[in-house]
Structure 1
Amino acid sequence: MNSFFQVKVPFLVSFQPSSVLDRVIQITYVIAAVDLTCLFMQIGILPYLAKSLGLDTVEFGYLQTIFGVLQLLGGPVFGSSIFSLKEIMRLLKLPGVMEIFLIKVLSGLPTGLFLMMFSIISINFFGLEAIQSGYLMTYFGVLQMVVQGLVIGRLTSHFTERTLLMLSVLVFSGVGLALALMTSVFHYCLIAFPMVFALCTIGIITDSILTKAVPPSDTGAMLGICSSVPPLTRTVGPTIGGFLYKRFGVSSFGYVQLAVNIILFLYLLKNKIPQKEEKVR
């Protein structure tokens, strides 16, 4: 095994890991970086390839959905006895879990649909070339790093989970209205910051609430369920998003987001969710 790491991955040897586990973690980081790089290359390039092949928006959505389904088919091969539907339903039936999970899914779903179709929107609506679309995706990624690294941590130390949950849903509503009125790339650049803020905040807050709502032995399983939301969005999102975009245009994403999050905000006002007023730890 030592010779393998020295020959195949020489740049990892300089770290002089103290155990095999350290080396496995390092290789995992490398694999994750390569995987994400290829994923975003696929997201950025595939729409231009689809357009050159003559596919319309709905057909492109079908293509993306098929790709997502093929990804999900690997699930039963790895750990099917652990991540079973029965186990998932058991956790979701615990007190306070189902409603928070639904808020997590529903609040970000319209934005997820928009982001799934953004590459097509950047071509047809904004009229951007592939490299310009790549710059916008990079800008969005930088905003995520800034918000998660500099903003969320400070807010969680000063405000309770309920306050931040309601704030993120309210910001999502404002983002929805802004998306409905958006007409240019400049408008999108302005909208991107509150969009990223709401996405990051509601993701962190709901994960925190859900992991504290289950027994410590089920924390890992609950985190796994939470992390399954983005892949599911990538699976069904392109088909739904393609239909909305072709039938109603870009503004439909904004109106759907506005309506969904206003309903969620009113629900949060009426109900004490979560039951305990705590800060994120």
Structure 2
Amino acid sequence: MSGKGEVSQPGAEEKEAEKRRRRRIINVVYLITAVDTTLMFLQFSLTPYLAKKLGFDTLWFGYLQTTVGVIQLFGGPVFGRFADLHGARAALSLAFAATVVFFLLLAIASNPLMLFLHKIPTVFMHVMPASQMVITDLSQPEKQADGLSKLGLSFGIGMIVGSTLGGQLNTRYGETFTACFGAVGSFFTLLLVLKFIPETTKDQASRSSTKSDDKNKSLFNLGEITRLMKFPGVTLTFVVKIVAGLPSGIFQVMFSIIALDFFKLLPEQNGYMMAYFGILQMVIQGAVLGPLTMRYSERSLLLVSIGLSALVGLAQVYIESVFQFCLNVIPMMLSLSIFNVITNTMLTKSVPSSDTGTMLGLCASTQNLLRTVGPTAGGFLYVNYGISAMGLIQFIVNSAVLVFLMYRGIQKTTVQTD
């Protein structure tokens, strides 16, 4: 009896130690994501006002945002594959090193050309998909959605701190100091990555597959990246992610200009507005999304998020004040949070664990595609028709996608019944 106990005990201790190790890595990832988001929103509160000072109008600011979208659109899948081949530590280190350079270039941007050039390092700035890869690799399949939603909680914290801090620093000390602060913060986070993030977060089977893959496949092999689209359900989910996400994505990338031009917010007031978004994000990701993903199916939550987004667009048509907008932000944030977490979860579950980084890089590219098209389309719509046009398009597009998915579900049910 005692012999059996002695044999089983080390295995139990090893499992418990491994569980603690995974939890520690996940907690560090939550921390570095919060810091990265803080710096990102610090930059968001700085760039529109610096662009205006350098003579940018709404359309040219849209072109600046489009530049970032194009750069990250092509960088996302390659970065994701880099993360699969070389591990989490190398990927996150590359992302934060690029962020340091990004902020240093922003600090010395004194003309329109430099403002465009400082966006070049964004080709490597993919902290969120790299963090999502770590969470996906280290979480049980049934807890992936909950883990990714908790990552959104870190995003909300960073949104609050970054928006408030960015507005305060920009108002009191100016753009150069704020950009230098971002560079220092990025360097500090790079040190955290080197200290606490392991070389790889893949399991042994995935590691063996990746090593074999590394011998035969190139980092820039387009076929190896796009082959993930051949897995069942992946292509349809991607199309839904792009089409349903496009209208809300247009509004998101244009919000800094809308806040400045339509709502007439000062830098400090804009910071408070973004902090309000962050509080909502924290509540939704930390207290609402987890229970929802445990209780309801992924398909049901996907339909709810798309339908809710359509109603948000309809309400946006009638918005005339900041107060009305703040009310509409509540269902907006809920629909966006559900939509992003559920689509990412569905896609990562559809591919082998050795390809989660590449898949999440492709997911990030859908967001960057929206950022590529969004600023130009958003600038045109806002200048010519106002924010109500953006809301109307969101209502029509999301309603159409919802009807299509419901009809497709009915068709499947009918076929299975027959």
Q: Provide the TM-score with structure 1 as the length reference.
A: 0.80
- The alpha-carbon distance between structure 1 residues 30 and 149, as it changes in their structure 2 partners (threshold 3 A), is closer
Q: 1:14 — aligned with what?
A: none
- The alpha-carbon distance between structure 1 residues 88 and 157, as it changes in their structure 2 partners (threshold 3 A), is same
| Preserved contact between residue 62 and residue 238 of structure 1 (Cα < 8 Å) | yes
Distance of 2:273 and 2:47 partners within structure 1:
16
Task: Say which structure, 1 or 2, has more relative contact order (CA 8 Å, 6+ apart).
Answer: 1
Map 1:40-189 → 2, pairs under 5 A:
40-70=41-71, 79=82, 81-82=218-219, 84-189=221-326
1:195 correspondence with 2:332? yes
Structure 1, unaligned runs of 5 or more:
1-17, 277-281
| Pair member with larger Rg | 2
Q: 1:244 aligns with which of 361, 381, 405?
A: 381
Q: In angstroms, what is the RMSD of aligned CA positions? A: 2.9
Q: Figure out how many residues of one structure are paired with residues of the other and give that number.
A: 256
Q: 1:6 — aligned with what?
A: none
Shift of 1:110: 1.2
> Quick one: which amino acid aligns to residue 47 of structure 1?
P
Higher helix share: 2
- The alpha-carbon distance between structure 1 residues 207 and 83, as it changes in their structure 2 partners (threshold 3 A), is farther
Shift of 1:70: 4.6
| Preserved contact between residue 152 and residue 201 of structure 1 (Cα < 8 Å) | yes
- The alpha-carbon distance between structure 1 residues 65 and 210, as it changes in their structure 2 partners (threshold 3 A), is same
Q: 1:36 — aligned with what?
A: 37
Shift of 1:74: 5.9
Q: 1:13 — aligned with what?
A: none
Q: Provide the TM-score with structure 2 as the length reference.
A: 0.55
Structure 2, unaligned runs of 5 or more:
1-19, 83-216, 414-418
| Preserved contact between residue 57 and residue 245 of structure 1 (Cα < 8 Å) | no
Distance of 1:265 and 1:140 partners within structure 2:
26
- The alpha-carbon distance between structure 1 residues 70 and 184, as it changes in their structure 2 partners (threshold 3 A), is same
Shift of 1:33: 4.7
Secondary structure of 1:117's counterpart equals helix
- The alpha-carbon distance between structure 1 residues 222 and 69, as it changes in their structure 2 partners (threshold 3 A), is closer
| Preserved contact between residue 72 and residue 365 of structure 2 (Cα < 8 Å) | no
Secondary structure of 1:272's counterpart equals helix
Q: 1:10 — aligned with what?
A: none
Shift of 1:30: 6.6
Distance of 1:238 and 1:174 partners within structure 2:
23
> Quick one: which amino acid aligns to residue 94 of structure 1?
F
Distance of 1:138 and 1:220 partners within structure 2:
30
| Preserved contact between residue 59 and residue 380 of structure 2 (Cα < 8 Å) | yes
> Quick one: which amino acid aligns to residue 356 of structure 2?
T
- Cα offsets for 1:140-196 (capped at 9, x unmatched): 111111111111111122221221111111100000001111111111111111111
Q: Identity across aligned pairs (percent)?
A: 49
Q: 2:346 — aligned with what?
A: 209
